[in-house]
Structures are given as C-alpha cells and as structure tokens.
Amino acid sequence: MVAVSGLELATGHIFSQFELRLLALGIAGTALTPALLWFFHVRKRIWESSSRVLSLLVSVRAAVVAGVASYGALVLGMHLIDDFLVRFLGRPDVTAVGATWQGWNLLVPAASFVIAIAVGWRRRLLTSAQPGFRRLMMLWLVSGVALLLAAGIVRVGLAWRALTLGH
C-alpha cells in the first residue's frame, strides 16, 4: 500500500477512498493466495523434517535480512544526503535526492526486493551447485546483476524525480 503514492505520482491519477479500499483488498487477496499456498507446501513437505525446516530457515532468513537491511540502508543513505550533507553542512556540490519524495515509496522496496531475491538465489547456489569455477562465476554474476538492477532502479528514481520537479 505504501507504493500507491508512487503509483499515483507515476500515473497522475489520485485515487478516491473507495479505490484505495479496493486496492487494499486486491493487494491483500493477491498476497494472501501465494502465502497460503506456500504455507500448505511447507506444512506438507518440510515441516515434518527438522533438517528441512532448518535448511529453509537459513535461506529465507538470509533473504529477509538482506531485503530489510538494503531497504534501511537506502532510506538512511537518502536522508544522510538530504538532511546532513545538503541541509546541515550546506554542501553546494551535493544535490538533494528528495528522501521524502513519493516515488521512492515504489522504487526503494523494488530495489530491496531485487537484493533479497539475489541473496536467496546465492544461498541456493551455495548449497546446490558443485564447488568450482562455474559456481564462483554464477555467484558473482547473480551479485553483479542484482547490484546493477538495484542501482538502475535508484538511478531511474533520481531521473524521474528530476522530471517531476521540472514540471
């Protein structure tokens, strides 16, 4: 629901209260269906085996921690630039990124999601792929692509914010 303000900014349409409630129901239903399917899958296939539970916990925990940490780092980094470097120190060579700009509500979670998926995928590669040069290259490729995608999302946000300020 936080991304709705970014969606409003992208489309130029302001949602009414009724539309917001419908969106909330749609998002809840859309998120609930795969969550329930995953829950029943875990309960049926994994829950009976302690080793499978611990294995799943390790991979999920790493992805969740990476997603939360990258989200926090992005938000804190933007506030560091805006509130400390630009405002407090008054550095004219640093441009504000607009930490409170609504578009970040859509883009920062997207960048964090990319990082979380990459960490989960890396964890899976570490446990399933054969050790060697090929696995090492795949790990570096997954990390590099994820960082490039996340940086690209932030760069798109900076360009998008500059366009919205120009109008």
Tokens of 6: 């970014």
Cα Rg, the chain, nearest whole Å:
20
Contact 53, 47 (CB under 8 A): yes
pLDDT computed for residue 131 by the predictor: 83
Percent of the chain with pLDDT over 70: 98
Q: pLDDT tens, 52-106?
A: 777 778 778 989 999 999 999 999 999 988 888 887 777 777 788 888 888 898 8
Per domain, the residue ranges of the chain are: 49-66+100-166
**pTM, rounded to two decimals:** 0.68
pLDDT value at 167 more than 70: no
Q: Are 5 and 107 within 8 A, CB to CB? A: no
